[in-house]
Structure formats: C-alpha cells, structure tokens
Amino acid sequence: MTGDLFGSRPRAPLAERMRPRCFEECVGQKALEKSAPLARVLASGHVPSLLLVGPPGCGKTSVARLLAGQGGLEFVSFSAVLSGVKEVREQVAAARALHAAESRGTLLFVDEIHRFNRAQQDAFLPHVEDGTIVLVGATTENPSFHVNAALLSRCLAVVLEALPLRALVELGRGACNDQERGLAAGWSFTDDALGILAHSAQGDARSLYNQMETMVAAATGEAPQPRSLDDATVRRLLTRRVVAHDRGGDEHHGQISALQKAVRGGDPDGALYWLARMLHAGEDPHYLLRRLTRMAAEDIGLADPAALQLAAAAVSGFDLAGRPEGDLILAELTLYLATAPKSNAVYMAFAAVQKEIEAGAVHPVPQHLRNAVTPFMRQLGWGKGYVYPHDFDEAVAEQDYLPPALKGRRWYAPSPFGHEKEISKRLDWWRRVVAERRDGSETPNS
C-alpha cells in the first residue's frame, strides 16, 4: 500500500496527524540525535536498510516515513501479520517497475517483521543485496532471536526506546498548540493533566494521543464543556492502562529476571515491585510460584532450608485461597526470600558435578557401596568392606563414597551464612573424626 509521506489525511486520528515531519520533531530518542550512528550514515546521503527495534508507540513507523522522505524514496508499507512471500514478490516487482520508469527507489517498510518465519525473511535477501529495495523492518522483539542472521547482517539495527515522560509531555503540549494538526479547536490540557497522561502512556506516544483524543470526545458531551481539561477531569476519565508485558517475549523475561535479581540482592522493595508489576499485567501466578520456588533453592539453598518449605506451602496456600487473596501469599513468599540469608552453594555444587559427569566422569559403583541382597551378589563381592556408620559413637565412619577415580573430590562448599554456617561446622567435625579414625584410635561399637 502506497501512502503520502506523513499520512495526514482529513479526519485521521490525532496520532496520525501528529507524526513528526522531520527528525528534529522526533523528541526523546537518543538513537536519532545528531551524534548517533544513524545520523552520521544519513549525513552521507545514503539511506541504509534498517531494523528498527523498540516498544509500541516509540516512533518506528514515523522514522521509516522520514527516511523515505529524506532519501526521495517511494514509501511502501505492509504488515508481516497480514502478508507473505507472495506480497513481497509483488512489491519487489513494483519497485523494479518504478525504478525503470522514474529512476526512483523504494523503501519497503515491514511492520512486525519478526512474525515472518526464517524462509519468509530469506525472500528479502537478494532484493536488499542488489539494491532493488531499501528494507526497513520494525519489531518489538529482540532481533538476535527473531531475525535470521543473514538478514540481520545486511541491516543496521537501531534501537528506539520507550519515550521518557518529558518527551511525552512535550508531544502532548504540541498537540494542544498545533492548530492545524492538533486537537479540535479550543481544546487543551493543563500541564498537570499532561503529566498524568504521560505517566499513563508508559512511553507510548500513540497511547498518549489516543487518550487525549478520547478525553476530548468524552468531554464534548458534558455541559458546560470544559475547554481545558485539568488533572481532576483526566483522572476521572482515564481508563486503566494495561501494563506492558508479554508472556513469551523480552518484557516477560526482563521482568522475571529483575524479580530474581532483587530477591538475590536482598532488596524486598524491588522484589515486591516486580512481583506486583507482573501480577498487574496478567502473568500466571503459578509461573511466578514456580520461579520463586527455584529461587528458594538456587539463591538461598541450605542457608535457610525453611525457604523451600515456605515455597511449597505457598503453592498449596495459593490454590486454597484463590485470587485475589492468594496474591498476598505470593507477596509473603517474595519478601521472605528477599530477606533470607543467601547462598548459591547448592546450585554451584550441583552444576559442578553435572559438568564433571558430562565431561566423562562416569564410573561404576564401588563394590562396598553395592547392596548385596542375594547369595550371588555376595559371591560377586558386593557390599564387602562396607562400614555401617551407626556402629560408631559419632555415627561417622572412615569410608569413601565416591568412585576411586574421584577420591577426595569436594564440590559442596557451605557458605558462612545462615544455616549453612552450622553445616560447615558439622562437616569440619565429621572430617576431624574421620582423620582420627584413620589413626586406629577408635573401633566400632560391639
């Protein structure tokens, strides 16, 4: 679909009318500043193929339109959700025809390019390579995982960030002041009202404009009509915005990572914030319970064995209480884990053993550790030489429990924190007893 450069059609939505007309109007994006790599590339007069990466409403489509205008290119846009290889071929054929007829290039803007599979993405390669099209792909996902390496290597990746509050307020003020493209004549918002809307938009300019337009439409039916909407009116009309979160994408992984790092770092407030944020966005509470249970083992371990017990209790308690009451159980578990003594000794020991086994340390069970339950097994020597620890006063025997090739290896190193401090003392005592036993100073009880 071919459109005009700025898409400012009559009665177009406010977000469409207020698209920036030049890069100077793209406020709040470091990637578009004059010192950024993209600006230096554009200064050479060359418009490269790009991957624009960023959240909704950060300006990806607007940047693509501006690039087309700056390079004198035909702007052609389609969505990967609704199109396939057939449409790609049609657009490439049209680009070739346009170049042949008018010596004019084509910028092909592909929204949500991550929705194309690898084979579909490959369809762009020869046409990007030979210069038939300038490809600008937009994605909200990490291109390292969702764009194939061949296409990624042919495009300059530009990361656009969620717009900061000051930029959103500036954009909102511009919509109030722009008599040609902005709000309906006579309507405006106070600075306090714009601040509230900017917070609600969460970095999304499109959301900001849509909220402003919706509120003006709602207020138009009120009598008397408030020509300038204040903070009280905005709070009354503001609909609750869904917090940005995607159960399978970068936001999901980023927020659960933040939760675990806050727990691991002993920050109860940070941990509680990320828990509440994910619950508010609709995250599955059972997923959070599973991850919190993992944290109890990975980041706390035997420094506080009660952490794992509480995690298991929280699972059954949540199922018993249901929502919203069960959310408080999640909060209690999160705070307990964040304030518990920390140790990753269990995690490190288990990972080290796994690594050694994967490297080939797979040895037979020593004879004395095998259980001889039949005469034939005893004839083979199974169980011979086994020493029963409970025959000793300290219930400790001088005995090897590893294969001979691994004799003396130690993977578990208790931390000096919490319950593991006591474990460390116990292990030291056991080892002293065993050392004394080697001197032959003690024999099993009769």
Q: Phi first, then psi: what are they for 106, rounded to 5°?
A: -130, 130
Contact 134, 174 (CB under 8 A): no
* Average of per-residue pLDDT across 173-193: 90
Cα angle 338, 340, 344 (rounded to 5 degrees) comes to 90
Predicted confidence (pLDDT) per residue in 402-422, tens digit = 898 898 889 988 989 999 899
Mean pLDDT across the chain: 86
Report the distance separating Cα 176 and Cα 187, nearest Å: 7
Helices 191-201 and 165-177 pack at an angle, to 10 degrees, of 130
Q: Confidence class of residue 288 from pLDDT cuts 50, 70 and 90?
A: very high
How many angstroms separate the CA atoms of 235 and 317, rounded?
36
Please report, rounded to a whole number, the percentage of residues in the chain having pLDDT higher than 90.
35
Residue 115's contacts (CB-CB under 8 Å, 6 or more residues apart) are: 80, 81
| β-bridge mates for residue 52, sequence order | 138, 158
Give the C-alpha separation, 247 to 234, whole Å.
30
Q: Are 113 and 83 in contact (CB under 8 A)?
A: no
CA distance 354 to 162: 41
Burial 376-387 (b: 16+ CB within 10 A, else e): eeeeeebeeeee
User: Tens of pLDDT along 359-402?
Assistant: 888 888 888 888 888 888 888 888 888 888 888 888 888 888 88
Domains of the chain: 14-159 (3.40.50.300), 165-237 (1.10.8.60), 250-339 (1.20.272.10), 361-438 (1.10.3710.10)
Q: Which two tokens stand for residue 298?
A: 């990975």
DSSP string, 149-162: HHHHHTSEEEEPPP
Residue 441, pLDDT score? 54
51-104 pLDDT, tens digit each: 999 888 999 999 999 999 988 999 998 887 777 778 888 888 999 999 888 888
Q: Which of 260, 265, 295, 301 is nearest to 413 (CA)?
A: 301
Asked whether the whole model's pTM tops 0.85, one would answer no
Task: Write out the E strands in 4-155.
Answer: 50-53, 74-79, 106-111, 134-139
Kind and range of the H or E run holding 376: helix 375-379
C-alpha–C-alpha distance, residues 6 and 18, integer Å: 9
The answer to whether residue 222 scores a pLDDT higher than 80 is no
DSSP helix/strand/coil, 138 = strand
Q: Beta-strand (E) ranges in 120-232? A: 134-139, 156-159, 188-189, 228-229
Cα angle 413-419-425, degrees, rounded to a multiple of 5: 60
pLDDT at 4 over 90: no
Chain CA centroid to CA 425, Å: 41
Range with lowest mean pLDDT among 16-20, 165-169, 189-193, 373-377: 373-377
Long-range contacts of 12-18 (CB under 8 A, 24+ apart): 13/209, 13/210, 13/213, 14/175, 14/182, 14/183, 14/209, 14/210, 14/212, 14/213, 15/205, 15/206, 15/209, 15/210, 15/213, 17/181, 17/182, 18/171, 18/174, 18/175, 18/178, 18/181, 18/182, 18/209
Is 70 exceeded by the pLDDT of residue 5?
A: no
Tokens coding 331: 């909060």
Our CA dihedral for 277, 283, 284, 285, rounded to 10 degrees, sits at: 0
Token pair for 428: 């030291």
